[in-house]
Amino acid sequence: MDSKFWMGYNWVKLAFIGAIVSGSFLPSISQAFAPEQVNQVPLTTNQLLAQQADQRQAPLVGIVWYLERYQTQDGQEMTALPFEQITLNFGKDRVGGYDGCNSFSASYELQGDRLQLGDDWISTLRACSGIEAAQASHFAEALQRAHRVVMSDRQLRLLSHEGTTIALFSTFNPFQQTWQWQSPVGQPGQTRPQPRRILEFDGAGQVIGRLTCHRFSATYQQVGDRLTFQPGKIIPLPCKSKAMQAQEAREINLLLKQAGRYQWDGQQMNLLTQAGKPLVNLSLMTPSSLFGQTWLLQELATPSGLKPPLAGSRIDLQLRQTSDSATGELSGNAGCNQYRAAFTLKGNQITIQPAATTRKSCAQPQGIMQQESRYLQRLTTATQYQIRGNQLTLLDTEGRAIARFELGSGID
């Protein structure tokens, strides 16, 4: 890429942040269309053109777009890394966002659906490496190649001169996110993080709750600010405290039966009763990084479905990148033996090679060697991965979960 672009791309961090904080970067739509500009005096040709340009910008301004897919310069179709939220947001005069490594900003012009980015790029200066750096570079290249903007049904597409989609974005949907409980149900005033209490919406009417002593599923219906649940399965898990298990069961039933409305402000969501009484506070869980973490196995696919590991056993997973951003090595404890295997990544796709292991034999808990064999075999069938908050899920070619992990932090 042109060195002038990168010189412009690496400006001072504080200047960019200051522009955002001051409000000069993202003026509101109401400022762009102040009432006194309408039907006051006859408009000159230049004023009319400027007003028309503002009207063309209106659907873009003030919306944060989240990258789903992009095309590299050599034509490869890539899915955005699940553990990075790549964003794009248009102001009245500048476009900016986050590329998975740094925040950036540049001027732009929009004539109809024709987009022209300026060469006055500024950026924060965080150093990144591996797959995150590669994605940031590909994303910057895609933006430089963007020639047209097409919006439809909560989606934004950037097209090349040839009309090829080189980047696809969607708007934020709170019901496609993972939320952490910030208070006990029925006690929203007692705000404190509940690290083992997760509410995960799939965007299609299903919700899963994960707590220390329970897992539960439900369907939900959301219309306007109305949100109601239809209870599904509530599954008790092994728990150190009967009192905790009983308390969780009460809160789950209270949540599913009494929730009727919600309020959302971007990073927080409050669930309310039908009458508007606060029920529980939730905070958005941003995706954890795939690398540099210890992931603890929570569920493994068996012939009868996903099951937790044997009581008294621990299976974990760590992933590290090599110098090649597309490859790496994973390792961990398979329950009895240590294991190590190579893997490759492409967006949200993963391929794991058969693992090499130590050669111990363990007798307890009963069935641990069979569990270890099943786990290692399941790893080789993974073709995709998802990260939702502090949850990592490996999926097979049919999109079925074969193993679900949770970050090691907060595990009791």
CA 44/CA 85 separation, integer angstroms: 43
Does pTM top 0.75 for this prediction?
no
CA 341 to chain centre: 26
pLDDT in 10s for each residue of the chain, 412 residues = 444 444 343 333 333 333 433 333 333 323 332 333 333 344 444 443 444 444 444 467 778 899 998 999 888 888 888 777 889 999 888 999 999 888 999 999 988 889 999 989 898 988 887 788 888 999 999 999 999 999 887 889 999 999 999 999 988 888 888 888 887 787 766 655 555 788 989 888 999 898 888 989 999 999 989 999 999 999 888 888 889 899 999 999 999 999 999 998 767 899 999 999 999 989 888 777 888 889 999 999 998 888 899 989 999 999 998 765 678 899 999 999 999 999 998 888 899 999 999 999 999 999 999 999 999 999 999 999 988 878 899 999 988 999 999 888 533 3
In this predicted structure, what is the pLDDT of residue 191? 57
CA 21/CA 23 separation, integer angstroms: 5
In this predicted structure, what is the pLDDT of residue 194? 57
Q: What CATH number is given for 3-171 in this structure?
A: 2.40.128.270
In this predicted structure, what is the pLDDT of residue 330? 93
Q: Token pair of 341, please?
A: 């295997």
In this predicted structure, what is the pLDDT of residue 345? 87
Beta strands, E only, 129-213: 148-152, 155-159, 165-171, 178-181, 198-201, 206-210
In this predicted structure, what is the pLDDT of residue 28? 34
Which CATH topology does 295-407 take? Lipocalin (2.40.128)
Task: Quote helix, strand, coil % in the chain, to nearest 5.
Answer: 20, 40, 40
In this predicted structure, what is the pLDDT of residue 412? 36
Q: Which residue has the tokens 């919600």?
A: 262
Q: What CATH number is given for 174-284 in this structure?
A: 2.40.128.270
- Beta-carbon contacts of 28 under 8 Å, excluding residues fewer than 6 positions away, are 62
CA 290/CA 299 separation, integer angstroms: 18
365 cis-preceded (ω within 30 degrees of 0)? yes
Q: Token pair of 402, please?
A: 């074969």
In this predicted structure, what is the pLDDT of residue 389? 78
The domain ranges of the chain are 3-171, 174-284, 295-407
Q: What percent of the chain has pLDDT over 70?
A: 82
In this predicted structure, what is the pLDDT of residue 180? 87
In this predicted structure, what is the pLDDT of residue 323? 63
